[in-house]
């Protein structure tokens, strides 16, 4: 079977804010029976947590059929399909164990990466993301009201999140935190356990500093010790010099965040990358 990248991209959908492929499409690409594919997943259930694979609800299936003519076959099906994220697709190749599965998975992963870059370059900032947004992705169509995993990498790149977009905002901040290789510095006047939950997404070897107001620090010794025991040393410094919130990665990248990271998505705020080296050094000199 010839694996066409354009054909793969047409089979990628946005469901629950993530890019996924359906079991029937994957089975066709892997040249296996859909039932056999799902049985293999069931036998290896521990390898497919919800962020790897999930079953569509009846409402989601109907929405998908309404928006995508090629999925009309699902209309009268009594079973809701399984959806696989990028990580789930990668795991499938491991359990199917065939040359076709490996070759197909590589092609699919490349399609996911290509599409993610396309969205980062072309998607617009939108005011509201509905609870469920399902739309077939075409490389030649206008991308509108579509959830994207934000990749902030260009000068003055910024995004605004509005009230209710908690998933979007949280995912964005966690992606930024995960980019740090050596050190991560958070300047935030109000921190609590929710702040540590976000910062736990850092790489294990990354040194962590928090500069916050002693008056507004809601962390107790037990929570700090528990975090250090699992994620490494945590240095907390108290200061009342700052009002705005910042994340500094490896003392090289400076992000301005318009609200405490624990409040991501509760009210409208902006995240932006500042590439002014003088401003970065000035900020570092004050902490």
DSSP E strands in 115-240: the ranges are 158-161, 183-187, 207-212, 234-238
Dist. CA 165–CA 178, nearest whole Å: 20
DSSP-derived letter for residue 10 is T
Task: Map out the domains of the chain as residue ranges.
Answer: 5-122, 158-285
Position 228 scores a pLDDT of 92
Q: Report the CATH fold assignment for 5-122.
A: Mlu1-box Binding Protein; DNA-binding Domain (3.10.260)
**Which range is least confidently modeled, 20-29, 68-77, 181-190?**
68-77
Position 64 scores a pLDDT of 85
Position 284 scores a pLDDT of 93
What is the edge-to-edge ordering of all strands in the sheet holding 82-84? 13-15, 18-22, 82-84, 53-55
Mean pLDDT is highest, among 144-153, 158-167, 271-280, for 271-280
Kindly report the backbone phi and psi dihedral angles of residue 159, in degrees, each rounded to the nearest multiple of 5, phi listed first.
Answer: -145, 145
Give helix 99-122 / helix 23-30 axis angle, nearest 10°: 130
Higher-pLDDT residue of 255, 98: 255
Beta bridge mates, 258 = none
Residue 153's pLDDT band (cuts 50, 70, 90): very low
DSSP-derived letter for residue 123 is P
| Widest distance between CA atoms in the chain | 65
Distinct helix (H) and strand (E) counts, the chain:
10, 11
pLDDT in tens, 160-170: 555 555 556 77
Q: Are 219 and 234 in contact (CB under 8 A)?
A: no
What's domain 158-285's architecture? 2-Layer Sandwich (3.30)
Q: What is the SS3 assignment for 33?
A: coil
Residue 125's pLDDT band (cuts 50, 70, 90): very low
Using alpha carbons only, give the angle 257, 147, 116 rounded to the nearest 5 degrees. 95
Position 158 scores a pLDDT of 58
Higher-pLDDT residue of 267, 125: 267
């Amino acid at each position: 079977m010839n694996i066409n990248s354009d054909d793969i991209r047409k089979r990628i959908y946005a469901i629950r804010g993530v890019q996924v492929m359906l079991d029937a499409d994957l089975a066709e690409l892997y040249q296996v029976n859909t039932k056999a594919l799902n049985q293999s997943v069931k036998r290896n259930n521990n390898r497919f947590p919800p962020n790897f694979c999930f079953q569509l609800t009846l409402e989601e299936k109907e929405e998908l059929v309404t928006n995508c003519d090629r999925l009309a076959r699902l209309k009268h099906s009594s079973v809701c399909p399984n959806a696989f994220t990028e990580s789930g697709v990668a795991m499938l190749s491991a359990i199917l164990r065939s040359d076709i599965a490996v070759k197909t998975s590589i092609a699919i992963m490349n399609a996911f990466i290509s599409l993610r870059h396309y969205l980062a370059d072309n998607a617009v900032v939108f005011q509201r993301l509905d609870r469920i947004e399902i739309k077939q992705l075409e490389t030649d169509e206008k991308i509108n009201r579509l959830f994207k995993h934000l990749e902030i990498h260009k000068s003055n790149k910024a995004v605004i999140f509005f009230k209710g977009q908690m998933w979007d905002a949280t995912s964005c901040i966690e992606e930024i935190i995960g980019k740090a290789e050596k050190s991560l510095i958070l300047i935030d006047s109000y921190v609590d356990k929710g702040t540590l939950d976000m910062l736990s997404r850092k790489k294990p070897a990354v040194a962590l500093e928090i500069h916050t107001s002693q008056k507004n620090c809601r962390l107790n010794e037990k929570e700090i010790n528990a975090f250090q025991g699992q994620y490494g040393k945590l240095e907390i410094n108290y200061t009342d010099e700052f009002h705005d919130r910042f994340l500094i990665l490896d003392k090289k990248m400076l992000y301005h965040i318009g609200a405490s990271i624990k409040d991501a998505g509760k009210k409208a705020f902006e995240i932006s990358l500042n590439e002014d080296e003088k401003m970065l050094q000035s900020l570092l000199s004050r902490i």
